[in-house]
Structures are given as C-alpha cells and as structure tokens.
Amino acid sequence: MGELETLGRKFREAVTEGNLVRFEEGTEYTMTHGYMRTALENLHCMKDEVILSRERDEWTIAHKKWVITKGYYAMFHAALSLLANRGLKSKDHESVPVAIELLYCYPEKRKPDTTISNQVLDIVSLLNQTRGARGKVSYQIYPDKRDVDEGVDLVINNAEKVIETARDIITKEGG
C-alpha cells in the first residue's frame, strides 16, 4: 500500500472512530487562532521553565521532562491550528499529523503548494519525533538521561520554528 493510500485509510479510520470531526461552520477562524494562542502559551511556559531552572541551578531531569511536555504541547497545538484552518478538530494525538499531511500535501480538487507541503511534512516529522520523545521520558519512572537530554534539545530547537511555520501557512491561506 502506498503512502497516500495509508494516509487515506488512517484518516478515514479517525473520522469513523470520531477522532476527527468538523467544526460548526463559521468557527474555523476562532478555533484556528485559539489553538495558536494555546501553542504560544505553551511555548512561553517552556521557555520560562528553561530560564528559571537554569538560573536557580535546578536544571534537573524533572524540569527537563516538563520542558519536553510543554514543548510537545506547543507543537501539537500549532498542528491543531492547521487542522482547524481546514475546519476540523481532533480528539486524539495520533490523527493530527495524519490529517494535516493529507489535507495540506494531498488536497482535493487542486494542486498542492509545494512550499506549504514541505513545511507541513517538516511539522509532521517534528511532531512525531517530539511525541515519541515525550513518551520515552513521561511514562518511565527512571527515564534514560540521554533520552531526556535529546528530547530537551529537540523541543528547545524546534518548538518555536513549528509555531512560526504553522502561523506562516495560515497567513498565506488567509486564515
């Protein structure tokens, strides 16, 4: 099965299971910008945690795990804003990268914008990596220090970029 067929199957499953649903018509703008505001709030909390923990010489695994979580949620809400810009909302984390890739890289009835497609593919990749990093450190009593440090580097280096890219895409599309 090809990539497009796999994406389409996963998308249909998410819709059938009720994990992807349409917004009430006319609310796309409000929902898109609401998710983006939440992404920015998570980003600011992540940055504050880094600064305060380092200033107080408390840059521990516990603080780093929190930074990974906030960074992931910043990226996740930026991705939700892209989904909302297409009139959809998600009730789970797994369907969001599938849906935005399908909707932005393989749009119906028109040729995809190559620049936007590449930007969305980058967001999908980073979101999936970060979700994996968050899972590695959040659901273990004693997470591996290397996993924690790699996760922190991933979110610190990419959360803001994901938000800015999502915002640029939404602006290009008039959202």
The CATH number covering residue 161 comes to 1.20.120.330
Q: Is the pLDDT of residue 1 over 60?
A: no
**Longest CA pairwise span in the chain (Å):** 55
pLDDT digits (tens, 9 = 90+) for 8-41: 999 999 999 999 999 888 889 999 999 999 999 9
Q: Name residue 34's beta-bridge partners.
A: none
Please tell me what DSSP assigns to residue 142. S
Nearest CA-CA partner of 156 in 63, 64, 71, 79: 71
String of DSSP letters for 46-76 = HHHHHHHHHHTT---HHHHHHHHHHHHHHHH
Residues 6+ away with beta carbon under 8 Å from 52: 58
Give the pLDDT score at 119. 97
CA distance 71 to 83: 19
Residues spanned by the domain of 50: 3-172
pTM for the structure as a whole = 0.93
The span from the CA of 59 to the CA of 89, in Å, is 36
Tokens 């995809």, located at residue: 112
pLDDT category of residue 143 using cuts at 50, 70 and 90: confident
Q: Is the dihedral of CA 167, 168, 169, 174 positive or negative?
A: positive
How many structural domains are present in the chain?
1
Highest mean pLDDT among 16-25, 73-82, 112-121, 142-151: 73-82
> Which amino acid is it at 113?
D
**Whole-angstrom Cα distance, residue 142 to residue 111?**
48
Q: Please report the pLDDT score of residue 26 as a whole number.
A: 85
Residue 76 CB: number of other CB atoms within 10 A?
A: 23
Q: What pLDDT score was predicted for residue 112?
A: 82
Instruction: Give the pLDDT confidence score for residue 48 in this predicted structure.
Output: 95
pLDDT for 99-125, tens place per residue?
999 999 988 777 888 999 999 999 999
pLDDT at 34: 97
Given this model, what pLDDT does residue 151 score?
A: 94
SS3 category, 12: helix
Reported as type and span, the H/E element at residue 19 is: none
> In this model, does residue 85 exceed pLDDT 70?
yes
The answer to whether 88 touches 104, Cβ cutoff 8 Å, is no
